Chains A and B, each alone.
Chain A
Amino acid sequence: MHVVDRRQNPKAKSLGNRQRFLRRVKSHMRKAFAESIRQRKIADLEGGQEVSISSKDLHEPTFHHDPKVGHRDYVLPGNHDYRPGDEIEKPSGGSGSGSGGSADGDGEDSFVFALTREEFLDLFFEDLELPNLAKRKLKSMASPSWVRAGYSTDGSPQRLNKRETMRRSLARRIALGRPKLAEVEALQAELQQAETAGDADEIARLRKLIDAQQTRMRAVPYLETVDLRYSRIQRVPKPTTQAVMFCLMDTSASMTEQLKDMAKRFYMLLHLFLKRHYKAVELVFIRHTYTAQEVDEQTFFHGRETGGTVVSSALEEMLKIVKQRYPVEDWNIYAAQASDGHNFDHDMPQTLRLLEQEILPICQYYAYIEVNDDQWPGDSVLWHGYFPLVDRHDNFAQAEVATASEIFPVFRDLFDSRQRSGSSTKPRVDR
């Protein structure tokens, strides 16, 4: 006999089977995903998902008897006091049929399949990738910091580490037997005594002794260059693993609940997406009418105000918050602006200036989505105003969404690296 420890064997032997299974049920997964974003908060797509899959597509058929026809005899255990000829109520569950024979083969109605978070997200972000992520990652996903890294034997004077230097000096002095200053002074005091007493022999002995000591002290210096130690400080890149996502939205009366709902889904996708790249993702909600203010999620999606629309106020608010709380070197900044496209004409120059000169340079990515149930989307003030930016800036994109079902495709379009790497023309532009 031998005992084999298989615990270290590669785990997840069934991974291949699991993948094949997932492939098989992909359409169910898509539906489950759509369902789950309808009900959740933006940041609330953590953890795995349980997906209920109807067994119809997954059922493996077998030849078996129809329990509803025919005659059967069987033996059961645990008779109480039935006599032959007695009648028994049929069990309501299916357990009465064929209790002995076919244990497998009876189908289950549906079963719940638990997706890991990774699997869940993989399904939906298969070929999505932040545009130019690699390039910008080098530039701004890492900011350097200085850390201690032991000692070195040379360096600038202000880095001299006195404690470490003295430790080495002391060790050397003890090892090489350098006389202590106190000892020499004691001898000199004795010599003085001997000189006053006029003891010639003693004077000669002490002189000789002191001489030898002093020679040794000169030969073994108190501090030598070999003792010197400098603190070494190293520059290491510190990865910034955090991102902040600005949700900007016009919340004036023209934004109906339905439009906001579409915007919400877009933000959710963006948030989910960012969570894949960063350890921490913070959300900032800025709503605006003619003035802008930072609000919580509840207010953001459910509050409703009236008043004119001044987009630049939201951009200013965003810049203010970035300055206060999200230093650009530590944070990856994303912004998504959702709007029905209205803005006062007189505000457009200011909006464009802010966006192009101040916001786009510090943003990893800025997406403008126009939620619109109009028949002629893409015919708004903002759309026309923003349109030239698409070509000038890699990190700016705009798209329009007319129904909820379009959100995911639009999101894909915006973030699909392959599409963006080519020409960045947008579909359905009014000319």
Chain B
Amino acid sequence: MNKRHGKLLYSGSQWDFRLLHRVYDAVEEIALGELGLDVYRNQIEVITSEQMLDAYAAIGMPLLYRHWSFGKRFAREELLYRKGAQSLAYELVINSQPCVSYVMEENTMTMQTLVIAHAAFGHNHFFKNNHLFRQWTRADRVLDELAYAKSYIADCEQRYGFAEVESLLDSAHALMSHGVNRYATRRRSPREQQARSEARRQHLESTYNDLWRTVPTESSDANEVRSIEQDENDIEAAALELPEENLLTFLANHAPKLKDWQREVLRIVRTLAQYFYPQRQTKMMNEGCATFVHYEIMNRLNHRGQIDEGSMLEFLHMHSAVVAQPNFDSRGFGGINPYALGYAMVRDIARICDDPDDEDRQWFPEIAGKGRSLETIRDAWEHYRDESFILQYLSPRLIREMRLFKVSDDADDEHMTVTAIHDESGYREVRRQLAAQYDISKQEPDIQISDANLKGNRRLVLTHRVRDGKLLEKSEANRILRHLAKLWGYRVRMVEVDAETKRPLSEYDAVSMP
């Protein structure tokens, strides 16, 4: 690349608003013009480190209802920050339209440039294009919804008292990770729903004949009556559309004792949970995307002579800290670093497209050597989530480079056993396992509401389908079930059943406290 622009955008570390604009324009030119990114309108907001802590504590949301747990988060973050145990993120970005990126006033100009490239273009592109975000979040509504949630809950606090709202939110938060729809259901309009229930009622009426009840059969009358009751219950369960995995939705719609405002609060929490669901499924790709974008842009700026060597060194220092992957047995190990893996995979795809070897040609015949690397990468960002992305694109070479290996760990054994490593026979197994690790539906307990009695004892029954003998942590489960019972208003039972053998393994029971 020639140094056609050749004029430094800035020098030194001081930033000001004029420089921010100038840098933004230069970054935008590369991001849209050269990398072909497609982004929401950007809004950059300058904040202080204290405000950054605030934003952290509010799980990254610019406005959120009040709850003590966010205060707790703040306290913890602040303490870690003050003690130097943890530095603040340089940036925070919100999936909204316009896309809001926070930059801190303490940052140097190089960091601001990095943040603009990383957040305002990298994350922004991902938010706008990835299919999960397109399907599950409405960027143009996020801020409105949050503002509504905040004022609604504040209003409830005024009306029903802090304690009441707080304990409701406590319960709702406990169920938050089970407040998402994992699979898109067809969204029915209220009219359609009404039509369905009407059809169901008519069907029941037309097939109901009271005479059947009087017909003597071989079995005793009592049995007969019960079986009719049983039938009714089945019909009822069908009406409730059980089984249901979204506990919050179910409670908001069917819990017998909740008041309307309480149902609305549950829906608010559920909306929040759903909002984060795509983020949880694409964390690695999303960070990989942003990291790749900032790396490309910074390098291109340097090639054009728009940022100097000093800034470049500062940038590389930060970049390499971000993408470092400690070994499993080193002190700093905390799982696989999503930045490291995400970034390495994107780079690897580019390499496969532009400069493949025989192995790549064999593994990735569709893309190897075809060039058009940026197009391929953008396509991957759009159509995959972490799990499927790994399954599709993790190459043997990267497995070797990261020296990935699979271990098998039985809780009863004293040792873990290595079951596959980075060799010919292990690539597929390692890749399959790593992908599974990113599949939230496999990592989180599979819990569903399997039965609900709305007329008799009103008991709610949940089923945990246990895989690989992974039972729930007991005390935690008991606590959550108490929350659940409180919301439901009646007794709640949960059975843990082996997913394959259907053998019951354990059982919980919780009653609603008055």
| Given A17-B74, A76-B328, A77-B328, A69 and B415 contact (CB-CB distance below 8 Å) | no
- Over the window 445-456 of chain B, the binary record of Cβ atoms lying under 8 Å from chain A Cβ atoms (1 yes, 0 no) is 101000000000
Q: When the two chains form the complex, which single residue of A64, A79, A83, A85 contacts B445, counting CB atoms closer than 8 Å?
A: A64
Whether, in the assembled complex, B70 has its beta carbon less than 8 Å from a beta carbon of chain A, the answer is yes
B418 part of interface (Cβ distance < 8 Å): yes
Instruction: Please state if B79 and A79 are interface contacts (CB–CB under 8 Å).
Output: no
* Interface residue A35 (Cβ < 8 Å from any Cβ of B): no
CA of A68 to CA of B480, assembled, Å: 19
Tell me the residues in window 62-107 of chain A with beta carbons closer than 8 Å to chain B beta carbons: 62-80, 82-91, 95-103
Residues of chain A with a CB closer than 8 A to B417's CB: 85-88
Other-chain residue from A67, A99, A112 in contact with B411 (beta carbon distance below 8 A): A67
Contact with B along A99-121 (1 / 0, CB 8 A): 11111000000011110000000
Check if A88 sits within 8 Å of B416, measured CB to CB: yes
| B411/A70 in contact, CB under 8 A | yes
Closest residue of chain A to B99, judged by CB? A1
* Cβ A98 vs Cβ B443 within 8 A: yes
Query: In the complex the two chains form, is A13's CB within 8 Å of B51's CB?
Result: yes
* Partner of A70 from B68, B72, B469 at Cβ < 8 Å: B469
**Complex Cα–Cα for A340 and B270 (A):** 63
Bound complex: CA A114 to CA B78 (Å): 9
Q: How many residues of A contact B (CB 8 A)?
A: 66
A60 within 8 A of B: yes
Flag whether B330 is at the interface (Cβ < 8 A).
yes
Query: Within 8 Å CB of A22, what residues of B?
Result: 71
Q: Give the residues in chain B near A74, CB-CB below 8 Å.
A: 406-407, 409, 433, 437
Asked if B66 is an interface residue, CB under 8 A from chain A, the answer is: yes
Q: Provide the bound-state CA to CA distance between A101 and B284, in Å.
A: 12
Chain A residues with Cβ below 8 Å from B58 are: 13-14, 17
Q: Are A61 and B174 in contact (CB under 8 A)?
A: yes
Report B325-337 CB contacts with A as 1/0, cut-off 8 Å: 1111110011110
Q: Does A58 contact B (CB under 8 A)?
A: yes
Encode B407-431 as 1/0 by CB contact (under 8 A) with A: 1111100111111111001100010
Chain A: which residue is nearest B41 at the CB level?
A1
**Cα(A384)–Cα(B476), bound, Å:** 59
CB-based contact B21/A62 at 8 Å:
no
Give the docked Cα–Cα distance between A99 and B20 (Å).
Answer: 39
CA distance A78 to B67 in the complex (A): 41
Distance (Å) between the CB of A54 and the closest chain B CB?
Answer: 13
Write out the residue numbers on chain A whose beta carbons fall within 8 Å of the beta carbon of B404: 75-77, 79
CA distance A95 to B334 in the complex (A): 7
A62 CB contacts on chain B under 8 angstroms: 174, 177, 476, 480
Decide if B46 touches A4 in the complex (CB within 8 Å): yes
Judge if A181 is at the interface, Cβ distance under 8 Å: no
Interface of B is mostly: mixed
Tell me if B42 counts as interface (CB < 8 A to partner A). yes
B287 at interface, CB cutoff 8 A: no
CA distance A91 to B334 in the complex (A): 12
A contact residues around B425 at 8 Å (CB): 84
Give the shortest distance, in Å, between B91 (CB) and chain A (any CB): 14
**Docked-complex contact B476 and A82, CB < 8 angstroms:** no
Contact between B426 and A64, CB atoms less than 8 A apart: no
Q: In the assembly, what is the distance between CA of A305 and CA of B279, in Å? A: 73
Interface string of A40-67 (1 = CB under 8 A from B): 0000000000000000001011111111
B418 near A86 with CB under 8 A, answer: yes
B50 contacts across to A, CB distance below 8 A: 11-12
**Interface presence of B200 (CB below 8 A):** no
When the two chains form the complex, which single residue of B69, B406, B437 contacts A60, counting CB atoms closer than 8 Å?
Answer: B69
Residue in B48, B53, B335 whose Cβ sees the most chain A Cβ within 10 Å: B335
| Interface presence of B225 (CB below 8 A) | no
Instruction: List the A side residues contacting B389 at CB < 8 Å.
Output: none
* Distance of A89 from chain B, by nearest CB (Å): 7
B51 touches A82 (CB 8 A): no
Q: State whether A3 touches B75 (Cβ < 8 A).
A: no
Q: Are A17 and B68 in contact (CB under 8 A)?
A: yes
Task: Name the contact of B474 in the complex, choosing from A5, A66, A67 (C-beta under 8 A).
Answer: A66
Cα separation A62 to B68 with both chains bound (whole Å): 17
B444 contacts partner chain A, Cβ-Cβ < 8 Å: yes
A81 to chain B, nearest CB (A): 9
Counting CB contacts under 8 A, is A306 at the interface? no
Pair A88/B407 contact, Cβ less than 8 Å = yes
- Contacting pair A101 B444 (CB below 8 A): yes
A90 and B416 contact, Cβ closer than 8 Å, known pairs A4-B43, A11-B51, A71-B470: yes
A150 interface residue per 8 A CB criterion: no
Within 8 A of A (CB), among B146-177: 162, 166, 170, 173-174, 177
Contacts of B329 in A (CB 8 A): 78, 91
Give A68 to B411 CA distance when docked, in angstroms.
6
- Quick check: is B119 within 8 A (CB to CB) of the other chain? no
- Measured in the bound complex, the distance between the Cα atoms of B333 and A91 in whole Å is 11
Knowing A7-B105, A20-B66, A21-B75, the reply to whether A71 touches B468 (Cβ < 8 A) is yes
Contact pattern, A 1-34, Cβ under 8 Å of B = 1, otherwise 0: 1111111010111101111111110000000000
- Indicate whether A84 sits within 8 Å of B426 (C-beta atoms), given known contacts A100-B336, A102-B444: yes
**Beta-carbon contacts under 8 Å, B5-22 to A:** 17, 20-21
Instruction: For residue B187, give the distance in angstroms from its CB to the closest CB of chain A.
Output: 27
CA distance A84 to B424 in the complex (A): 12
Distance in angstroms between the alpha carbons of A64 and B46 in the assembled complex: 38
B443 is contacted by which of A12, A78, A90, A101 (Cβ under 8 Å)? A101
* Other-chain residue from A2, A24, A91, A99 in contact with B43 (beta carbon distance below 8 A): A2
Query: In chain B, what residue has the closest Cβ to A3?
Result: B44
**Contact residue among B43, B162, B434 (Cβ-Cβ distance under 8 Å from A75):** B434
Nearest B-chain residue to A17, judged by Cβ: B71
B468 pairs with A72, CB closer than 8 A: yes
* Other-chain residue from A14, A76, A111 in contact with B70 (beta carbon distance below 8 A): A14
B340 CB, nearest partner CB in chain A, Å: 8
CB-based nearest A residue for B414:
A90
Q: How far does the alpha carbon of A13 sit from the alpha carbon of B105 in the complex, in Å?
A: 17
Residue of B nearest to A50 (CB): B79
Closest to B434 in A: A75
CB-nearest residue of chain A relative to B70?
A17
Q: Which residues of A contact B141 (CB under 8 A)?
A: none
A76 to B51, CA, bound (A): 36
For B257, list chain A residues within 8 Å (CB): none
Report yes or no: A71 in contact with B411, Cβ–Cβ below 8 A. Answer: yes
Least CB distance, A46 to chain B, in whole angstroms: 18
CB–CB B47/A79 < 8 A: no
Tell yes or no: B4 within 8 A of A by CB. Answer: no
B360 within 8 A of A: no
Most buried by A among B51, B57, B416: B416
Q: Report yes or no: A3 in contact with B416, Cβ–Cβ below 8 A.
A: no
CB distance from A401 to the nearest CB of B (A): 34
List B contacts of A24 (CB < 8 A).
68
Find chain B residues with CB under 8 A from A88 CB: 407, 415-418
Binding site for B on A (CB under 8 A): 1-7, 9, 11-14, 16-24, 58, 60-80, 82-91, 95-103, 111-114
6 A-B contact pairs sorted by A residue (CB < 8 Å): A63-B444, A69-B469, A69-B471, A74-B407, A78-B329, A84-B418
The 8 closest A-B pairs by CB, nearest first: A78-B327, A21-B71, A101-B443, A100-B437, A17-B71, A70-B470, A76-B328, A70-B469
